[in-house]
Amino acid sequence: MTVKTRFAPSPTGRLHVGNIRTALHNWMLAQKHGGSFMLRIDDTDAERSEEHYVDAIHADLEWLGIKPEGQERQSARLALYDQAFETLRAAGRIYPAYETQQELELKRKIQLGRGLPPIYDRGALKLTDEDRTSKEAEGIAPHWRFKLDHDEAITWEDGVRGPQKFDAAQLSDPVIRRADGSWLYMLPSCVDDIHMGITDVLRGEDHVSNTAVQVQMFTALNAAPPRFAHEALLVGKEGKLSKRLGSLGCDAFRERGIEPEALIALLARLGTSMPVEPIAAREALVDTFDLSTFGRAPAKFDDTELDRINAAIVHQLDYADVKDRLPGGMDEAAWHAIRPNLEKVDDVAEWWGIVTGPVEQPAFEAEDRQYLAQAAEALVWSDNPWGDLTASLKQSTGRKGKPLFLPLRQALTGMNHGPDMAELLPLIGQDEARARLRTAAG
């Protein structure tokens, strides 16, 4: 069976880091097995769905380099859901219910007070035809529930959690359609997975109880359920579920100067037994992707770790990867000279300013000013001007180590640290370098 996965966001907001991780892992699962990855836009909630969020989802996936091989929109598939609804109704697997939210909440409170699980008591099944006719005559439109088979044990082999078993009698019959005719998540998702040929559903562990219900829905629709796997949810580094993670999206990462490769490298292995490393080659991440490495403990998202990985990824980027993002006049040699000092590509402008000048030099002591004047005269351009200059000054002045190198760096760059001067000095150029040494010498 060819593996086919899907990512199914609702266009009611921007993708956040948890969504991104789900999309990535489904894409990687498909890639690992030579399968296909699909995008499904869950836009049945017409009131909350917004088209600009659909555009944002596409833009975010494109930025991440996660390319779906096909797309479906639930708003274009309503006829399929109606058909499935009628099939289930004819089979006696769905039924109308008339309780208000207040009535349901009261029932839950009573059950909890009696020490019972707060599940739906199937009160609507006790209504007679006359009862239903009376309610509808009063203008009370029904919502619709899927009737779980209490005699059928719900089991599946979860790709992360292992063997799963649920007692259907301990679950509420889920509402699948609202009184206004609009759809909730459960049934349309099953119908789409069947018609799209989805073989594997990888999602967060908060969907485990949904899966238990949907396993019976697939059976009721005469379809084999896909393989399910539920990964641990993301938490902040403090170990608690964080509202902040719900607002961290691709736009926030882009604004921070995070490379998509860095985010991919972190999220690919977050929550697994594999080490999180600054791996820019996605093929290597895909090759090592394995659901058996996923743990049950919450996966901790740490901004500090992302920044560390981002810096390491930047240090691997070739000139061709970034040339369109660099300041004018900055060539490949300049990129290779400055790259090891960057945490983000955006930082390059500050370092390039050291090459193009002007630089702010510190005030030097008289002895160092004399030394820098000597350096200005000793500067001879060659294939290795920095090496030749420091070798000459070491011999003529007896200086070595920090007293030899630091005043030169400070005069030429205005910094106490920075790129390798052997690479930086040729970028500054002979005339500009000599002028800076002379200015520092006073």
Picking from 2, 5, 1, the residue whose alpha carbon sits closest to that of residue 228 is: 5
Instruction: Identify the band that residue 237 occupies on the pLDDT scale cut at 50, 70 and 90.
Output: confident
pLDDT mean across residues, the chain: 95
Q: Work out the average pLDDT over 123-150.
A: 96
Binding site for ATP: what residues are annotated? 243
Q: Work out the average pLDDT over 263-271.
A: 97
Give, for 48, the enclosing helix (H) or strand (E): none
Residue 242, pLDDT above cutoff 70:
no
Written as one letter, the residue type at 243 is K
Please tell me whether the overall predicted TM-score, pTM, comes out greater than 0.85 for this model.
yes
| Residue 241 confidence (pLDDT) | 60
User: Which of 85-94, 99-108, 188-197 shows the lowest mean pLDDT across its residues?
Assistant: 99-108
Instruction: Identify the band that residue 216 occupies on the pLDDT scale cut at 50, 70 and 90.
Output: very high
Give, for 260, the enclosing helix (H) or strand (E): helix 260-269
Picking from 424, 202, 204, 435, the residue whose alpha carbon sits closest to that of residue 298 is: 204
Q: Work out the average pLDDT over 409-419.
A: 95
Picking from 59, 52, 39, the residue whose alpha carbon sits closest to that of residue 12 is: 52
Q: What would the two tokens of residue 182 be?
A: 């609009």
Residue 240, pLDDT above cutoff 90:
no
Name the pairing type of β-strands 154-158 and 143-146: unpaired
| Residue 247 confidence (pLDDT) | 76
The maximal CA–CA distance of the chain, rounded, in angstroms, is 110
| Residue 52 confidence (pLDDT) | 96
Q: Work out the average pLDDT over 24-49.
A: 96
CA dist 353 → 64, 312, 315, 363, 405 (Å): 30, 23, 19, 20, 21
Q: By percentage, how much of the chain surpasses pLDDT 70?
A: 99
Binding site: what residues are annotated? 243
Name the DSSP letter for residue 305.
H
Decide: 355 and 374 in contact? Cβ < 8 Å. Answer: no
Domains of the chain as residue ranges with CATH: 1-72+232-316 (3.40.50.620), 80-177 (3.90.800.10), 326-442 (1.10.10)
Q: Work out the average pLDDT over 133-146.
A: 95
Q: Work out the average pLDDT over 231-237.
A: 89
Q: What would the two tokens of residue 67 be?
A: 């390319």
| Residue 245 confidence (pLDDT) | 77
Query: What digits encode the pLDDT tens for the residues 303-348?
Result: 999 999 999 999 999 999 999 999 999 999 999 999 999 999 999 9
b/e burial code for range 59-89 (CB count within 10 A of at least 16 → b): ebbeebebebeeebebeebeeebeebbeebe
